[in-house]
Amino acid sequence: MAINAKTIRVTKFGAARLQLNTAIRLWFQDGDPVSVMTLAYASHEVLHRLYKNEGYGNLLYDTAHIPKSERDAFVQKLKLAQNFLKHANRNAKEDGAVQFSTGTNIVFLFFSVLAAKRLVGGTADKMTDEEMAFLAYCLIHEPSWFPEGELKNSVSVDLTQLRAIKSA
């Protein structure tokens, strides 16, 4: 197999969306939960920073649903598994391990999609098929995650587009 290397240019937002969409595809395919977590977390880290830089708030790390006095501990707990996997110089023993709930993957994906949606202008036509499919899934399975007025504005799904998404 010949190596066909090329140089690409990618923005932080573009990289975060590529990671997010790959994580969503893996998640829908019941792929490796560690890979989903790693991609979703990396994407969320960048999207959260860009979101804050635009003056937005109330995403996962600064959610109004967690009292400010408890927020640091909440975020630290959320980041525990990701930081374990990301930083080889910490707990680098071969037998070191971490436990995490795979349920956190859907949370990171959800908040990352919300951030991406707002950063592209809040309209469904600028969202990827993966982001739309994921929001549609959440709307059906987790409707309580959406604020009252947000429900009808969150997803505009063309089922023929969803069916045309290629599996990896």
Burial 18-50 (b: 16+ CB within 10 A, else e): ebbbbbbbbbeeeeebeebbbbbbbbbbbbbeb
Find out whether 88 and 25 touch, Cβ atoms under 8 Å: no
Is the pLDDT at 161 greater than 70? The verdict is no
**What are the tens digits of pLDDT across the range 41-77?**
999 999 999 999 999 988 888 888 888 899 899 888 8
- Between 25-34, 57-66, 80-89, the lowest mean confidence (pLDDT) is in 80-89
Contacts of 130 (CB under 8 A, 6+ apart): 20, 21, 24, 25, 165
Q: How confident is the model at residue 94 (pLDDT cuts 50, 70, 90)?
A: low
Q: Which residue has the higher pLDDT, 98 or 25?
A: 25
What is the rounded CA–CA span in Å between residue 84 and residue 104? 15
What is the rounded CA–CA span in Å between residue 32 and residue 9? 28
What is the rounded CA–CA span in Å between residue 27 and residue 31? 6
Q: How confident is the model at residue 91 (pLDDT cuts 50, 70, 90)?
A: low
Q: What's the pLDDT score for residue 157? A: 54
